[in-house]
Amino acid sequence: MSVQIENNPLKFARKILSDLRASEDMGLLKCVQCGMCTSTCPGAKNSDYNPRGMVEKVLEGEESIISDEEIWNCFYCYTCHSVCPVGNNPCEINQILRGIAIDKGIANDKVGSFAGYGDSFLTIGIGAMPKSFFMELNEDIEGWLDFKSKLEEIREELGLGSITISNESIEEINTLLKKVGFNKRIEELKK
Amino acid sequence: MTADIKSSNSDKDLKVGVFICRCGGNISDMVDIDKLKDSIDLDVVEEFVNLCSINGRKIIRDKVINENLDRVIIAACSPMTHEKTFQDYIKPLNPYLMDMVNLREQCSWVHENIEEATEKAICLINASIGKVKQSQAVDPITCQSPESAIVIGGGISGISAALSLGKQGIKTYLIEKTPSIGGNMVKIGKVFSPVRLAEECGMCLINPVMNELIWNPNVTIMTNTKVLSAERRVGIFNILLERSPRYVDSDKCISCGNCSDVCPIEVLDSWNDNLSTKKAIYRPFSQSFPDAYTIDIENCKKCGNCIKKCSMNAIHLNSENELIPINVGAVIIATGHEIFDPKLRPEYGYEKYEDVITQSELGRIMGVNGPTKGKLKMQSSNRVPKRIVMIQCVGSRDEKPDGHKYCSKVCCMVALKNANIIKNKYPDTDVLICYTDMRTPGMYEKYYKHGQENGIRLMRGRPGEISKKGNSLIVNVENTLKKEFMEIETDMIVLSVAIEPSEGTKEIAKIFDIGLTEDMFIKEIHPKIKPVTTDVKGTYVCGTAQGPNDITDSIVQANAASAKIAELLHDGLEVEPFIGEIDFEKCNLCKDCIDSCRYKAISTKDDEIFIDPLSCSGCGKCLTVCKSNAINIQGNISEKIFATIDGMLKGKKDWEQRILVFLDHVGYTAADNIGVNRIEYPKSIYIIKVHSINRVMPKHIIYALKNGVNGVFIGEYPGDLMYDEVEKRIKNMKQKIKEYGFNPERLQFSTVYIPYFTGLARKFKEFDTKIKNL
Ligand code: SF4
Ligand code: SF4
Ligand code: SF4
Ligand code: SF4
């Protein structure tokens, strides 16, 4: 690989550091490539994902990491952050990289199926599991569907209020979300 | 405003002589010497081609004596070059009655117009005449500290320091809080020799040194002893020691060990890192000094068995603590280190798994005088481990809570050493070191290569956790060079834990009021050029009390500290007399000054404020906080500043711009450098050298502005202890200037650095232009 004179590899790392989601004291530039993160990462244990390798690519300015399939194997467990001796946060870096991938529209296959979550904000005013996941969940958790359908009754019995939001509030949430372009973004993801 | 110039009548009668140096043309080529001489209205005005020569001395000395001169002005080069020379040439006159005018570095070398340079020279000499009349004959203060020292801590550093002091004829007390001297070095078993590529017996190396120390007539070794309090007075430390009893009279005890045989109590032996037990009456280790048994009184149940058994009658169970006051002239802190508690990193399972140990414990296990008599065995099964994984940087280079940001410096070498010892004795055991970086500078690199040849394996990666599978331990690590996640099965894991400051170090720092680093080691006043010197005059540090150090570095520091002490005690101390003095009539003991002093010079003594002349820098900070005006500094510094300002403004024409520049030692040297490099700056720049920038008061600046100065430039080196102070004061000064109706922009504060003289010259030019445009 030839490294051109005007090519400063750290540009990419600085872009990540200045992302809204990056914690202010993230030790990205202090990474010593010790691999402690990888050695504790459940993602690394079960796939070819390598948080240290991801950080290395970021520090070398290899933006190709954005389209790397492996970054989608992070569990967001933050173990890497808790062990990193220099206060780096591979988990956060991963989130930022995924964000960039989504913005670029190259991750729709990864997140499109979750777009239903977004829809629920528009339709019922809160984040809720899309119907398409119901059957799968019912297989994993016995009696889940039953629980789901009787939720309001159970809540009443427990003396808890309803989780349904008034139409007026849903209207208001809709207006807000439309103003910030939320619905457009959801539509994009579905493409 | 009335300036506080004391222009007593006698000023006029003082006989001043001016001696002008041509400096072989360096000055006279740019300054018209005849015109300069004509401008001076004094009887004695001499010139010579080079005043610093022997002939120059004759001219000066003859005039001083024959003409009965009261004051002398040498108009020549920078005082930085020749002040001491001319102070000597004016004898028998008091050295502080001479002033130097810098006609070379700050006049002829920075101006390119003869007329301008001559005018400036005239003005500088005028200022000097005013100033020198304000000077007083003061004698340098000499202090003589007692020829004795205390060394706190009896490890290899303290032992080396005490021995060196003793050999230089200095009475030395070596204080150790445990029952024996020796410290960690006697515990670690083998030490490595990078040059011979071999491991050697640590005890055999330290033992002759200990023996030499024990026989040195100047050294008193006090074990079971700690420092209770300390007080510092003009080069003397009054120290109160507390010696706790060893319950066995070391003069009588013959170390037969009969007592130990009959003692019913068994306790964990900390000397073996708690891997074995000892009796309540015990000897710390076989070569311990004093050569006697001692009782662990906390665990002793006073059955008296030992007393009955001891044929020497050496045991006394009812001994008490003893307080011992001593006075010494200097202090060495050699209080050593502790190690990082591996329990703080639960992911490494130190508490959970028996076969996870530290390098120190491995050292004891491999030691022939250790719990297994040197046999390598697993704690859990008594068999020789088939594989050992060493984990580096545990608690070092670690920013997580309780971790240390620094590198502990010795762990790479310690791991290699223990790995080599294992490889030599048990070649079939696989030893794998998991490292982040291998740090083996200098000759140590050869030992590293030697280890690789010996079959030590290395893997670059920092393990994140340890678990157990069946009878084996599993290390999770990424081999970062292969980019491969690994689960390594092993029998034993050795943690290379960090070196950290000992509690004793922190306590001693508090007792002596010595500064600590952010990592809580003893701080050196300037780690780069004043190693081993702390921020309290007369106290030094060596070994791991200063930071992570190996044995060799500790000994080097110990010797350096002892050399510094010999320097201090043998030479006596001559200090510049311009230091704080208390007027006890005025002082109301409010103690405001004590905390204000950055040099830790002020304390109370017998209900009086006391300024230690050895520590006081004469910065004048205390003057500004004392509401009762009870502190004074000799040398009429304030008056001299006023007189200099007067002189420098003399003859100033209305259209002419003059700027006063106040610089201390560092700034003045930078200004000299401008001249040495022949860089030109405006003639309007007039430099005044002050002892400390802090001595320039708002009253001086306002006086200057009122008397027609166009701008004031104050420069300070940011490394100066007083820098923040000065920076803060400048803001107030600007405010004051404004109140007096002057534009605050006429005052400029700036950083100066000796090597960055070009920057200073540029700042002079810029300020000159800025003032012109105001
Ligand atoms: S643990 Fe931290 S320092 Fe080590 S490789 Fe991962 S991100 Fe870098
Ligand atoms: S947050 Fe992601 S990268 Fe970090 S340890 Fe968990 S799975 Fe691995
Ligand atoms: S105290 Fe007495 S019995 Fe014990 S070692 Fe000393 S001399 Fe022997
Ligand atoms: S002059 Fe400065 S150094 Fe001396 S006692 Fe006062 S504040 Fe401390």
Residues B14 and B117 in one domain: yes
User: Is residue B585 situated within a structural domain?
Assistant: yes
User: Is residue B646 situated within a structural domain?
Assistant: no
Residues B253 and B237 in one domain: no
Q: Exposed, middle or buried by CB within 10 Å (0-12, 13-18, 19+), for A143?
A: exposed
Query: Residue B533 has what DSSP assignment?
Result: B
Report how far ligand 2's centroid is from the alpha carbon of A73 (Å): 8
User: Residue A172 pLDDT > 50, yes or no?
Assistant: yes
Structurally, what CATH architecture does the domain formed by A10-106 represent?
Orthogonal Bundle (1.10)
Comparing alpha-carbon positions, the chain B residue that sits nearest to A83 is: B464
Q: Which residues of A touch B340 (CB under 8 A)?
A: none
- What distance in Å separates the CA atoms of residue B435 and residue B396, rounded to the nearest whole number? 12
| pLDDT tens track for B631-685 | 988 777 888 999 999 999 988 888 899 999 999 888 998 999 999 889 999 999 9
A83 touches chain B (CB under 8 A): yes
Best CA proximity match to B126, nearest among B90, B51, B73: B73
- What distance in Å separates the CA atoms of residue A164 and residue B706, rounded to the nearest whole number? 79
Report how far ligand 2's centroid is from the alpha carbon of B488 (Å): 21
Q: What is the pTM of this model?
A: 0.78
Strand partners, B764: none
Ligand 2 atom 2: residue of nearest CA? A74
Residue with the two structure tokens 């300020």 = B767
CA B469 to chain centre: 52
What's the pLDDT band for A1 if we cut at 50, 70, 90? low
Strand partners, B522: B516
Number of the ligand 3 atom closest to the C-alpha atom of B292: 6
- What distance in Å separates the CA atoms of residue B571 and residue B520, rounded to the nearest whole number? 33
User: Residue B8 pLDDT > 50, yes or no?
Assistant: no
What's the pLDDT band for B595 if we cut at 50, 70, 90? confident
**Angle at Cα A64 formed by Cα A63 and Cα A68, nearest 5°?**
125
Residues having CB closer than 6 A to ligand 4 are B 579-580, 596-597, 599, 601-602, 611, 616-622
Contact residues for B95 (Cβ-Cβ < 8 A; gap 6+): B87, B88
Q: Which residues of A touch B478 (CB under 8 A)?
A: 35-36, 38-39, 44, 50, 52
Q: What is the pLDDT of residue B11?
A: 60
**Angle at Cα B338 formed by Cα B336 and Cα B341, nearest 5°?**
170
- In angstroms, the Cα distances linking B696 to B641, B732, B740 are 8, 13, 17
User: Is residue B519 situated within a structural domain?
Assistant: yes
pLDDT above 70 coverage of chain A, percent: 98
Domain end position, chosen among B138, B165, B198: B138
Domain end position, chosen among B538, B571, B604: B571
What's the pLDDT band for B12 if we cut at 50, 70, 90? low
Work out how many domains chain B is built from and give that number.
Answer: 6
Contact residues for B217 (Cβ-Cβ < 8 A; gap 6+): B166
What's the pLDDT band for B573 if we cut at 50, 70, 90? low
User: Residue B427 pLDDT > 80, yes or no?
Assistant: yes
- CB within 8 Å: A85 and B462: yes
**Largest pairwise CA distance in chain A:** 70
- What distance in Å separates the CA atoms of residue B82 and residue B1, rounded to the nearest whole number? 37
Q: What is the pLDDT of residue B572?
A: 67
Q: What is the pLDDT of residue A38?
A: 96
Q: Which residues of A touch B474 (CB under 8 A)?
A: none
Higher model confidence: residue B535 or residue B195?
A: B535
Instruction: Give the number of whichever ligand sits closest to the CA of residue B463.
Output: 1
Residues B4 and B133 in one domain: yes
Residues B287 and B405 in one domain: no
Q: Which residues of A touch B347 (CB under 8 A)?
A: 40, 83
Q: B384: part of which helix (H) or strand (E)?
A: none
- What distance in Å separates the CA atoms of residue B312 and residue B90, rounded to the nearest whole number? 72
What's the pLDDT band for B202 if we cut at 50, 70, 90? confident
Is B496 in contact with B397 (CB distance < 8 Å)?
Answer: no
Comparing B83-97, B250-264, B391-405, B627-641, which segment has the lowest mean pLDDT? B627-641
Best substitution site from B293, B306, B317, B319 to test ligand 3's pocket, by max atoms within 8 Å of Cβ? B293
DSSP string, A74-129: -----HHHHH-TT---HHHHHHHHHHHHHHTT--HHHHGGGHHHHHHHHHHSS---
CA A106 to chain centre: 15
Domain end position, chosen among B499, B520, B541: B499
Residues B240 and B118 in one domain: no
Q: What is the rounded average pLDDT for all residues in chain B?
A: 91
User: Is residue B451 situated within a structural domain?
Assistant: yes
| pLDDT tens track for B600-638 | 889 887 788 988 888 888 888 898 889 988 998 877 788
Q: Which two tokens stand for residue B207?
A: 């033992």
Q: What is the pLDDT of residue A65?
A: 96
User: Is residue B637 situated within a structural domain?
Assistant: no
Residues B349 and B426 in one domain: yes
B404 touches chain A (CB under 8 A): no
Ligand 3 atom 2: residue of nearest CA? B310
- CB within 8 Å: B480 and A40: no
Residue A170 region, left (φ>0) first, then alpha (ψ -120 to 50), else beta?
alpha
- What distance in Å separates the CA atoms of residue B191 and residue B414, rounded to the nearest whole number? 9
Q: Which two tokens stand for residue A12?
A: 């990419």
Residue with the two structure tokens 């506080």 = B4
The CA-based dihedral angle spanning residues B309, B313, B318, B322, taken in that order and rounded to the nearest 10 degrees: -140
Number of the ligand 1 atom closest to the C-alpha atom of A38: 6
* Distant-in-sequence contacts of B302-311, Cβ < 8 A, 24+ apart: B303/B264, B305/B259, B305/B262, B305/B263, B305/B264, B306/B259, B306/B260, B306/B262, B306/B263, B306/B281, B308/B262, B309/B258, B309/B259, B309/B261, B309/B262, B310/B253, B310/B258, B310/B259, B311/B256, B311/B258
User: Is residue B437 situated within a structural domain?
Assistant: yes
User: Is residue B644 situated within a structural domain?
Assistant: no
Q: Is the peptide bond before B290 cis (omega within 30 degrees of 0)?
A: yes
Residues B358 and B479 in one domain: yes
The CATH number that applies at residue B722 is 3.40.50
User: Is residue B642 situated within a structural domain?
Assistant: no
User: For B264-284, what is the mean pLDDT?
Assistant: 90
Residues B293 and B308 in one domain: yes
Neighbours of B428 (CB within 10 A): 8
A99 touches chain B (CB under 8 A): no
- CB within 8 Å: B464 and A45: no
Helix, strand, coil: what percent of chain A each, to 5? 65, 0, 35
- CB within 8 Å: A44 and B478: yes
Q: What is the pLDDT of residue B201?
A: 86
User: Residue B70 pLDDT > 90, yes or no?
Assistant: yes
Contact residues for B165 (Cβ-Cβ < 8 A; gap 6+): B149, B151, B172, B218, B219, B332, B562, B565, B566
Residues B467 and B522 in one domain: no
CB of B256 within 6 A of ligand 3: the answer is yes
Best CA proximity match to B432, nearest among B492, B481, B502, B372: B492
Give, rounded to a whole angstrom, the gap between the first and last alpha carbons of chain A. Answer: 36
A36: nearest CB among B403, B437, B464: B464
Parent domain of B606: 574-632
What's the pLDDT band for B596 if we cut at 50, 70, 90? confident
What's the pLDDT band for B236 if we cut at 50, 70, 90? confident
What is the value of ipTM here, to two decimals?
0.75
- What distance in Å separates the CA atoms of residue A26 and residue B52, rounded to the nearest whole number? 62
CATH 1.10.1060.10 intervals, chain A: 10-106
